[in-house]
Structure formats: C-alpha cells, structure tokens
Structure 1
Amino acid sequence: MLFAAAGYRVTVYDIEIRQLENAVSDIKMQLGDLERQGLLRGTLSADQQFQNIRTTTNFADAVKDVMYIQECVPERLDLKASVYAQADSLMSDRCILASSASALLPSKLAAGITHRNRFIVAHPTNPPFYAPLVELIPSPWADPDVVPTTNAIMEKLGQVPVVLKKEIEGFVLNRIQYSIMREAWGLIKDGVIDVDGVDKVMSAGLGRRYAFMGPFETAYLNADGMYVYAERYAAMIEGVMNTLKPTSTFGGPVLDQIQQELEARIPLDDLQKRRQWRDKRLAALSQLNKRLDGEDDA
C-alpha cells in the first residue's frame, strides 16, 4: 500500500494463491476505509493506488527487472537465505534487495549472495502505515548508493527512516522495546504491578510523551538542558539503574499470567477488532501530528 500510494507499480508475491487473494481483498478494503476517513497517503485515489498493485505466484515474474525488492518472510535465517538465493540469480546489478528482518544481522543475511553489495535491512515498525519509522541497516559490503537511495524511497513513501551507523543484534527499536519488556516482566514477576498497570504506565504516561518526542528530548525539556538534567537526576537514575531486572526466560508462570490477564481484557476472538481500534487511534495521531506540524510551520 505504501509503495502504491507513492506511485510505484507493485508486485506482491507469495507461493499460496489464497494468501494473495486475501491480501488483495484486505488492501482494497483498507484503501476504501482510508479514503472515506481522509487518511490516504499521496495524491492518488484509492482506486488509482489499488490499480498500482498486482500479484503473482511466479517468483521470477515478481523480481525480474525491478528496482527494489522488499522481502517479508518470517524471521528465519534459512528461509530468508532461500529467498535471496532465488532473487540473486534474477535481480539486476542496480536493484536493491531489502529485508524486513527485525533482528537478524545484514552481514549474516547477505553473506551467501553475489549481490550482497545491493543488500540492506529496511525494518519497518508494525503497523507500517500508521507507525512510519523504518530502520535502515546496510550490509557491510553495500555500495555507496544503497543507503541514500533506500532512504529517499522511504521518504517518498512518507515513512521516517533512520540509518544505523553499524549493525547490532535487534537493531535499535527492538533493543529499546525489549529493554522495556524485560523490566516490566521483572516487575510483574516480583508482584510490584499487574499487566494492566504496566500498560497504563506506558499508554497514559510515557507513551503520551513518546508519541511526539523521544526520551532524550523529554529529559532535555524536563530541565534546562541535559547538563542540568544530569546534575539534578544523575544520582537517582544511576541508583535505579543498578536495581533493574536481569534477563529473564520468556516463558513460565509469568508468561501464563500475562496471557491470562490480557485475554481476560481482550479475548482472542476480539484481536482483529482490537487491531482496528489500535489502527484508528494511530491514524488519528498521525493526522494530529500532521496538522500541528503545519500550524508550527505557519
């Protein structure tokens, strides 16, 4: 959808025709809903965007002579490697091969392909239409044009790309996300707070600020700059940091507790409805940000 909205001709590939049929149906429905809500990206109508999308179960038909490939298979190195091996023999020497991997290092992902110089991880945030951040992590062998070209494509889509200066497990978004989850896990395990309480701390507290600015700007504004912030709070921060929870096994009784508390609030049968609830609010937040940015520039 994002590529089609920007005017690109998009080919969606899958081995299962049913998956493609479901995708097309879902895309058409989403585009119609977005148009009715005035939330479409770009200048094209929903129908024009939909006409930019086609599907195929023929891999060669999907990747031959294209300028950009976005691979989105599950987070398994062997599975991704098999896709790259196929693409490697078909893609042009100027095509960019991008992966949606969320933790696997590009040096491992691209190690076995001839076109490793055209490889980059372009890790989107889920759901990408409503949460526009994209992490860009090039392979160590990437040609000089790969990062700026991918960055320009993402900006044309209306995404917000950030470039990592070097690769690291989990990249940046997931390292921060998992750090929050690790501490929250420990607090639940120790009986400090329940799942609903943790979610409220984020949604009604930290998340409200982080929707507009990051943790460093938050700190910067909470004092008269970072030097004053450090002068006021460094001892307290260091003391709390020394009590943070160590890595915990992602399973067992704590996982059971979290699942049960969430399922009592959001039954599994209601997940799709809750995702729509989430997307509606993310869309409204995007519109609010856009409107306020326009007022700030005026």
Structure 2
Amino acid sequence: MQITKAACIGGGVIGAGWVARLVLNGIDVALYDPDPQASRKVDEVLAGARRAYLQMVPSGLPKEGRVTYVSTVAEAVGDADFIQESVPERLDLKHKVLAEIDAHARPDALIGSSTSGIKPTEMASALQHPERLVVAHPFNPVYLLPLVEIVGGEKTAPEFIDKAKAVYASIGMKPVVIRKEIEAFVGDRLLEAIWRESLWLIKDGITTVEELDDIIRYSFGLRWAQMGLFQTYRIAGGEAGMRHFMEQFGPCLSWPWTKLTDVPEFNDELVDLIAGQSDEQSGHYTIRELEKIRDDNLVAIMGTLAQQNEGQGWGAGALQKDYVARLKAAGEAQG
C-alpha cells in the first residue's frame, strides 16, 4: 500500500527518525512539534539518514518528500493518509494529543503510536474512532532498523492491522504483529531483562560499561544480528537440534545465575557510576559522530547479509535487498 501524505506528531529522536524514513521514501510529511529547535534537530537527523541511505541504496533514492513544519496538530493531520504520533511516554499527554489527532484526521487515516510500552487500549480510550489506532513501536534509528511491532487494542479493527502491515512494509520495514496486548510488547521486554542484569553487573563492580558492551558486540550480538535467539540455539544443539539444546541447557534455568527478579536501587550513586563510565567510554565523540559510526556499521552489516545465502540475502539483508530492488524498479518506471 502506498501513502502519499503523512503527518508526524513529535520530532524527537524517534519522531525525527520517522520523518527521515518517510521523506527518503518519497513521502511528503507535515510535522508538528512545539519545540522551537525542532526544525534544526530534525534537519540534522535527516542529513544523517540521507547519508546512510546513499550508501545503502546505490541505485538511487526516489525523489525526496517534503517536510512542512506546521503550527498545530490539526494542520498536520487534516489531509494525511497516515499519522505517526511520537510524543513522550506519558498517558495523559498521549490522551490529549491522540484525541486532537482523532478529531481532525480523516476517518480512514491510520494512526500509529510510537509508544514503547503503553497498551493501545489505554490510549484509545480518548478516541472517538479507536478502531484505527495501533501501536507501531520502532527501534532506533528508525530510518535504518526495519522492525516495527504492531499491536492492536481491544477496539482496533482487523482491517487497520492489515493496513498498518502494508503501510510499514511499503517503506522498507518488517512489521511483526504482537498476538496479545501486553505492556512493553516483546522487544522492550527482552531489552529490559538484559538492562536489569547489566545494571547489577556494573553496580557490583564485576565489569564496566565498556567491557559489558564489548562482551555483547564481540559475541552473541553478532549471532543475534543475523539469526536471532532460537535459530542460534538450534545450531548449538548440534545434529540433534533444539530438543537436544533444551535438554542440555534447560536445567540451568533453576540455577541462581541472574538477578532478574530483583532490581538494584535506582539512586544517584548508580546513575553517577553508569554515566561516568559511559563518559569515559564515549565522551570523546559527539552524539552526531556516534550516530554516523552507528549508521555506517548498520549499513555494512545489512549490506553483507544482503549478499549471503547464494545471493538471495539473509535476515535483515534479504529485506534490504528486496527494498533496494523495489526502489530501483520504481525509479526506472518513473524515469
């Protein structure tokens, strides 16, 4: 499904990423954000995204969409086919903004919320047309990482779930519909488990921020990047596969290795410890420099995966290969 006009409400880190992905796919975007610095911040993110896409899509990008900065929510959403809300994670603010979107958007317009943990049913209570609201939870950077978790609420209509899948797939994403409505969905629940255990390991002086990052990025992070968790563990089971792996390592679940049911006290001391070590690790880079390094690495990993499996691509690389081919075909058809 192709969309021609989109609206983005909120231009922070996630909102700006949505603007970049949409604009670089040739879609005009009306953006509302009350931050007086919004245009500067979004333009900087867009510049970084444009640079990354030129590496990722050597065959050429479609003609860029336009970004129009508007002064009201109503002006942004009035004629939009698709609306992406990315305001801060406060239910009262979500209610206020979503109700305003709902009041001024076309009845057939899809509304996606970038929330990372609030249930869609809780947000939809403020809407007159709750059937067209879905959670569309992306991962940063939105313009490069393809996954988007689609979550419907109690009143979300099945046709809008289908519409969401088609819309996000049309801009090069991998939509995964979460089967049951739960807080934090799936991706963030997994990240939360790793985050909690990481805080304990730092707090207890077992490792540092930099050492922990190295443990992830030089080992299982590389495996996860192309096979995920279960396919990786299936291989670890050898010729007997997943059943053997489960039988061999299942008993470890009863061993007291982790502290996932316990949380370290979140106090100034812990914040200072983590922030100080992070400054030592990365303080010599600006955020824009780190974004550039991150984007180059992601483009390279996905580019390599696109050449695997006898040229058919693998995982995110296969998705990228198909996306680039579609952009190339669309450009040839237009030219």
Name the TM-score, length of structure 1 as normaliser.
0.89
Q: Unaligned 5+ residue runs, structure 1? A: none
Q: Which residue of 2 aligns with 1:261?
A: 277
Q: 1:292 to 1:173 in 2, by over 3 A?
A: same
d(CA) in 2 for partners of 1:251 and 1:280? 35
Letter in 2 for 1:30: G
Deviations 1:114-162 (A, max 9, x none): 1111111101101112221111111210111111110111111111111
Q: Unaligned 5+ residue runs, structure 2? A: 1-19, 315-335
**1:112-151 → structure 2 map (5 Å cutoff):** 112-151=126-165
Q: Give the deviation of 1:254 after TM superposition.
A: 2.8
d(CA) in 2 for partners of 1:132 and 1:218? 20
Counterpart of 1:179 (choices 193, 209, 224) is 193
Q: 1:269 to 1:38 in 2, by over 3 A?
A: closer
**1:1-298 → structure 2 map (5 Å cutoff):** 1-16=20-35, 18-24=37-43, 26-27=45-46, 29-30=47-48, 32-34=50-52, 37-40=54-57, 44-45=61-62, 48-49=63-64, 51-223=65-237, 224-240=240-256, 244=260, 246-267=262-283, 270-292=286-308, 295-296=311-312
d(CA) in 2 for partners of 1:265 and 1:40? 32
Tell me if the contact between 1:5 and 1:157 (Cα under 8 Å) persists in the aligned partners.
Answer: no
Deviates more, 1:63-72 or 1:185-194: 185-194
What's the % identity of the aligned pairs? Answer: 28
Q: 1:83 to 1:42 in 2, by over 3 A?
A: farther
Tell me if the contact between 2:52 and 2:295 (Cα under 8 Å) persists in the aligned partners.
Answer: no
Q: Give the deviation of 1:16 after TM superposition.
A: 4.1
Partner SS state of residue 255, structure 2: helix
Tell me if the contact between 2:48 and 2:292 (Cα under 8 Å) persists in the aligned partners.
Answer: no
Q: 1:292 to 1:43 in 2, by over 3 A?
A: same
d(CA) in 1 for partners of 2:159 and 2:179? 15
Higher relative contact order (CA 8 A, sep 6+): 2
d(CA) in 2 for partners of 1:212 and 1:175? 20
d(CA) in 1 for partners of 2:72 and 2:258? 54
Tell me if the contact between 2:115 and 2:137 (Cα under 8 Å) persists in the aligned partners.
Answer: yes
Q: How many residues align?
A: 293
Partner SS state of residue 142, structure 1: coil
Tell me if the contact between 1:130 and 1:286 (Cα under 8 Å) persists in the aligned partners.
Answer: no
Q: CA RMSD in A?
A: 2.4
Q: 1:83 to 1:190 in 2, by over 3 A?
A: same
